[in-house]
Amino acid sequence: MKAKVLVARATFPDVLERLQQQFDVDSNQEDHIFSPEELQRRMQGKDAVVVTASEKLTAEVIAAHPQLKAICNVAVGYNNIDVAAATQAGVMVTNTPDVLNETTADYAWTLLMANARRVSESEHYLRAGKWKHWRFDQFLGADVHGTTLGILGMGRIGQAVARRSMGFDMQVIYHNRSHLAPELEARANNARHVSKEELLRNADHLVLVLPYSAETHHIIGAAELALMKPTATLVNIARGGIVDDEALVDALREGRIASAGLDVFENEPALHPGFLTLPNVVLTPHIGSGSEKTRRAMADCASANLVAALSGQRPPNLVNPTVKERNHA
């Protein structure tokens, strides 16, 4: 008998077809996210579930499905899954690291530069038919070249962001729980580890690349924003919730920092209404890893994890290696 799998979000048709050859697949091909109740109901009797960051796999959901063997996340971040509960229940959790590093780093730069040079704001002006004549002092932005790039969270994506700064002749400072090995710092444009306070005070452009957890919740709030330069720009391509959106709206409105490029939000897809009233923000709907090639690589990576998990092998990207296989008798 084929194992039963729920694919909770639409994926590429050929990826789905391949899974259907191996498994008994129930998939969500609609353009909507399952409500928690719907997710619970569709997970009944499934051996594994393929999810994205939008689906919340809480301890209750995990406990309610004693037959579940694996949760395969199509994302590197897995704060949507109660990993401790999964581990205790004997459920394998997998993610899709590495395949999205470069694309997500590209996107951090897209937001950084759009911010610095007021791309979104000036395009809105133009689309609104307000451009009557060229002006010498119009939409003057900040330079990127020759400035200091700050990175909070120096994992694989953070390092990819740093490497890209070489062509802009920038200095790189970073803060992370641990220091990078010297050879990795050298590859990351000679990035220098500094305290969080020093990072906030000295960065001209600050990029957040941290995972979300209880420790990183609101790691950028009013106090941190107050330390930043009034000319600084902020980019968040990591997770909503690491920034206190209310505090950020206030800081942007009062000009305490210059601008922000945000791809993730505290209560996404809902936005803090204040963002929509501000000219000095670039707002996008969580598309950081969204190149065709990378989303395909993520889908393939999640499929490989699923296949391994359901054929008794150790999945390549097991997040909870201490998990003891569930007694599925």
Binding site for ligand 8YV (CB under 6 A): 52-53, 74-77, 100, 288-289
Structure-block tokens of residue 129: 């038919």
Instruction: Write the CA distances from 235 to 29, 87, 175, integer angstroms.
Output: 32, 33, 15
In the complex, the smallest distance separating the C-beta of residue 325 from ligand 8YV, rounded to whole angstroms, is 26
Cβ-based nearer residue to ligand 8YV, 96 or 259:
96
Query: Among residues 79 and 87, whose Cβ is nearest to ligand 8YV?
Result: 79
In the annotation, is 268 catalytic? yes
3-class secondary-structure state, position 138: coil
The CB-of-161 to ligand 8YV minimum distance in angstroms stands at: 15
Residue 218 C-beta: closest distance to ligand 8YV, Å: 18
Distances (CA, A) of 197 to 51, 78, 174, 242: 37, 28, 11, 16
Closest to ligand 8YV by CB, 189 or 294: 294
Do the beta carbons of residue 282 and residue 111 sit within 8 Å?
A: yes
DSSP state of 3: P
Angle at 296 between CA 295 and CA 302, to 5 degrees: 90
Q: Nearer to ligand 8YV by C-beta: 156 or 326?
A: 156
Three-state DSSP at 93 gives strand
Out of 239, 256, 272, 295, the active site residue is 239
CB of 94 to ligand 8YV, least distance (A): 12
CA distances from residue 143 to 89, 115, 147, 204 in whole angstroms, order as listed:
52, 10, 7, 9
Marked catalytic residue, from 118, 205, 256, 286: 286
Catalytic residue among 187, 268, 296, 326: 268
Show the tokens assigned to 209. 């690349």
> What residues act catalytically?
239, 268, 286
